[in-house]
């Protein structure tokens, strides 16, 4: 409807809409040395990820790390790459999550998705939301457990972008939901579904979380505590089916001490003790990605079976399954209370 009080030459200023920006970690654009190098350079240059003075860190990053690591990572990405769409599984799933949430929200909110590192960019996503007239935006970092290395980094980038906007929207951010009943319920259902599909019973269930350097925990990052709480609540929800459920941590890099117990060492230890059958899930991820599809379902599987294990199964993330979309909708509607 035309505003009769607005001058004919007034700039077009669409307003009054609510937006949701889903943000995942990001992936390279291709499983190649060059694409992975660009991605890793952006990711590992983030001071939230590597808390080392830049004069000390950058020569290491642009020396041995970005010389050798991209080739190894590119080979890993190639193992799980979505050849049909020519993109990583994380990008495929993130798009489906955004489409699923948009359908669930209807006219209540305009939903877009972006990557913290790589494409599609957060800056482009903010531009799209602004063009749609969204002057109220929920920034939804897709991490159940809070860490400065993940959630805070997303917020840093968001507010860096907002600093350049003359007319800024009202902003809300998604709090940690590691202990939210809907999230725990979704994990419970996924584990029960996996168990029902097996013709064997696991002797141990590992909830494997992406680790962080122990020094970050010592400085006050709550992430490990929230991971342990997620496991405890899931174990309680599963009842007898959750016996043997333990927390472990994966994806450590370099010689520094990381939060443990380490997932790879734990499966070797279990195999050495005679455990033959294990089930693994990854509660720190809402979407399957390199760390789940390659590191867990391929490399960790090989580690366990090579150490004497006989049965290994991986529980997929909630992804864009009905339970996953239901969780996203529930959390979004809670945080948009009063706006929609």
| Structure-derived torsion over alpha carbons of residues 212, 214, 218, 222, reported in degrees to the nearest 10 | 30
Q: Which residues of the chain have pLDDT under 50?
A: 1
Confidence (pLDDT) at 10: 58
How far apart are the C-alpha atoms of 240 and 247, rounded to whole Å? 17
Chain segment 160-215, per-residue pLDDT in tens:
999 999 889 999 999 999 999 999 999 999 999 999 999 999 999 999 999 999 99
Backbone angles phi and psi of 125, in degrees to 5: -65, -40
Angle made by CA atoms 319, 24, 66, in degrees to the nearest 5: 120
**Residue 317 · residue 283 · CB < 8 Å:** no
Q: Look at the pTM and tell me if it is higher than 0.85.
A: yes
Chain segment 294-311, per-residue pLDDT in tens:
999 999 999 999 999 999
Which sign, positive or negative, has the C-alpha torsion 190, 193, 199, 205? positive
How far apart are the C-alpha atoms of 238 and 272, rounded to whole Å? 27
Confidence (pLDDT) at 222: 98
Strand-pairing partners, residue 24, are 115
Cβ-in-10-Å burial (0-12, 13-18, 19+) of 64 comes to exposed
How far apart are the C-alpha atoms of 119 and 123, rounded to whole Å? 10
Q: Residue holding tokens 């590597």?
A: 50
CA neighbor of 281 nearest in space, from 272, 291, 271, 268: 291
Helix 89-105 with 322-335: angle, nearest 10 deg = 60
How far apart are the C-alpha atoms of 82 and 77, rounded to whole Å? 10
Question: What's the 3-state SS for 152-168?
Answer: HHHHHHHHHHHCCCCCC
How far apart are the C-alpha atoms of 80 and 82, rounded to whole Å? 7
Strand-pairing partners, residue 112, are 21
Confidence (pLDDT) at 3: 61
């Amino acid at each position: 409807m035309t505003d009769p009080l607005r001058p004919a030459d007034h700039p077009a200023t669409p307003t009054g809409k609510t937006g949701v920006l889903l943000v995942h970690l990001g992936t390279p654009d291709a499983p190649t040395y060059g694409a992975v190098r660009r991605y890793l350079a952006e990711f590992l240059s983030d001071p939230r990820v590597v808390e080392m003075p830049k004069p000390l860190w950058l020569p290491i990053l642009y020396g041995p790390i970005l010389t050798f690591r991209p080739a190894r990572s590119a080979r890993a990405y190639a193992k799980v790459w979505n050849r049909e769409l020519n993109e990583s599984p994380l990008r495929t799933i993130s798009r489906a999550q955004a489409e699923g949430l948009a359908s669930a929200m209807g006219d209540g909110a305009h939903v877009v998705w972006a990557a913290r590192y790589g494409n599609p960019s957060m800056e482009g996503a903010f531009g799209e939301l602004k063009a749609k007239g969204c002057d109220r935006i929920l920034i939804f970092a897709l991490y159940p457990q809070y860490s400065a290395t993940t959630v805070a980094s997303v917020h840093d980038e968001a507010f860096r972008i907002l600093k350049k906007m003359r007319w800024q929207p009202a902003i809300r951010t998604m709090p940690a939901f590691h202990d939210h009943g809907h999230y725990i319920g979704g994990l419970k259902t996924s584990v029960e579904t996996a168990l029902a599909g097996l013709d064997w019973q696991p002797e141990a269930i590992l909830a494997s979380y992406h680790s962080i350097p122990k020094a970050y925990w010592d400085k006050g990052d709550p992430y490990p505590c929230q991971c342990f709480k997620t496991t405890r609540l899931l174990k309680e929800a599963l009842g007898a089916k959750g016996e043997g459920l333990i927390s472990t941590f994966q994806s450590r890099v370099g010689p520094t001490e990381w939060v443990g117990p380490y997932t790879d060492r734990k499966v070797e230890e279990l195999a050495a003790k005679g455990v033959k059958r294990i089930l693994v899930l990854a509660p720190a991820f809402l979407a399957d990605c390199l760390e789940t599809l390659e590191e867990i379902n391929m490399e960790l599987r090989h580690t366990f079976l090579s150490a004497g294990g006989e049965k290994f199964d991986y529980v997929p993330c909630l992804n864009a399954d009905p339970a996953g979309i239901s969780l996203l909708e529930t959390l979004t509607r809670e945080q948009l209370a009063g706006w929609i």
